[in-house]
Amino acid sequence: MTLVGHFINGVNVDTAERTQDVFNPATGEATKQVALAAKETVEEAIAAAQAAFPAWRNTPPAKRARVMFRFKQLLEENAEKICQLIGEEHGKIAHDAMGELTRGIENVEFACYAPQMLKGEHSKNVGPNIDSWSEMQPLGVVAGITPFNFPAMVPLWMYPLAIVCGNTFVLKPSERDPSSTLYLAQLMQEAGLPDGVLNVVNGDKVAVDTLLTDERVKAVSFVGSTPIAEYVYATASANGKRCQALGGAKNHAIIMPDADMDNAVAAMTGAAFGSSGERCMALSVAVCVGDEAADALIEKMSAAMQDLKVGACTDNSNDFGPVITEAHMNKVKGYIDSAEQQGAVVVVDGRNPQVEGYNNGFFVGGTLIDQVKPGMTCYDEEIFGPVLLVVRAQSMDEAMQLINDHEYGNGTCIFTRDGEAARYFSDNILVGMVGINVPLPVPVSYHSFGGWKRSLFGDLSAYGPDGVRFYTNRKTITQRWPSSGVREGVQFSFPSN
């Protein structure tokens, strides 16, 4: 069985202190094993990054950017292979994997603008013969811990920007689908990145804790569930590191009575069930204002869901694939069971989909549940599966209060034709990423991605302008050259201009 190892100091490392099976979730079969790094292996990767930092820091930003231009080209040339690796281990259909990769490439494109991003600021004569300027300096060795659901895109949120800012990087991807992430690192090396600037260690909590506590690591970026995000943030901060930790979500869409229901249903179908709902920006709750809107949504959504195709990644006509593991499949089904037990109505039941030829796959079909209320387990917790909940509200204010009261504040949207309502919603909703008739309001690469409340720990969001701030330290320099022959007296008052 193939072993997926590590990538340290420019070399593939097949050290296997411990291993874990990697499954094809469509067949339920273990197809590979992944090495789980010991503490010493992670420390070796950190040491490689630390050794590479001085030379890389002093590499001109334009030269760093040229590596990114070449990397972007290699990603595009090898897109089909990357998407195949994602499909085999995550289960994502090829068209969805290509969408993920394309969004990741956009972040590489943003990183190509390093010379512009790192210019700093300059002011002449802030005082008599005194000039002042700022510089954006790299931190040193930084680390990323990334989730299974976007094995290409989320790492591409992190290390291209960190590296182009002059840092060196240690990446700990998900051990559930490691191959595509490792392959991307090899392409980065092929693009001309010096040895040790990017290192990848596969592993579990041992690897995570080593990165969080090693004093050579200056910053940690994390994407995953809220309980782990909170742990990562607390541990990294306690060890003196800068940290951004993106957690879970419960993304609501408000359906106003005046919404274009056909377009809203089409948008929500993709946003709720795409990628099997395993997206932190997936729409999982539709809050309908008024029973008439709710009944219309249920009718049209039920009809639309009859055409959903769930299956293996090998058939590009499928809409979405399996969930990541058997345990997660059972967890998602358990949420549907609990909704039924707590008084909700399962309108479309995806607990037992029939996928011909894949009887052992980890499949959950699209599920629609009506009459959901706060306090139900399915509402309060993140399901992370192809399940759409319908909550009925009697007013827009009541619908917004539901969203504002929830512990998560990642993404939300409203479907309406009323500009006044849309403006009021965007101004007053307590959520970090907002869509107006846009179901997945994921910011483009030159903005920044991040939620509010328990969806983000830390004060800087991912990628974009916040990413540059996260991966650099601002240094402000004030310089004075007195005129020759001029003797100045002592000044005891606080200096001013």
CA–CA gap between residue 374 and residue 392 (Å, rounded): 11
CA–CA gap between residue 226 and residue 222 (Å, rounded): 10
Which residue's structure tokens are 């969930």? 323
CA–CA gap between residue 357 and residue 24 (Å, rounded): 14
Which residue's structure tokens are 């579990």? 204
Residue 299: Cβ within 10 Å count: 13
Q: Tokens standing for 341?
A: 């037990």
Smallest CA-to-CA distance from 256 within 292, 310, 205, 305 is with 292
- Tell me which H or E stretch contains 462: none
- Residue 248 phi, psi dihedral angles, 5° rounding: -85, -170
Query: CB of 380 within 8 A of CB of 358?
Result: no
CA–CA gap between residue 299 and residue 458 (Å, rounded): 42
Whether the CA torsion 293, 297, 299, 300 is positive or negative: it is positive
CA–CA gap between residue 259 and residue 268 (Å, rounded): 13
Q: Tokens standing for 405?
A: 């009261």
Beta strands (DSSP E) in 92-241 are: 121-127, 130-138, 141-145, 168-172, 198-200, 217-223
> Which candidate in 83, 112, 165, 280 is catalytic?
280
Residue 387 β-bridge partners: 367
Catalytic residue status for 413:
no
Catalytic residues: 280
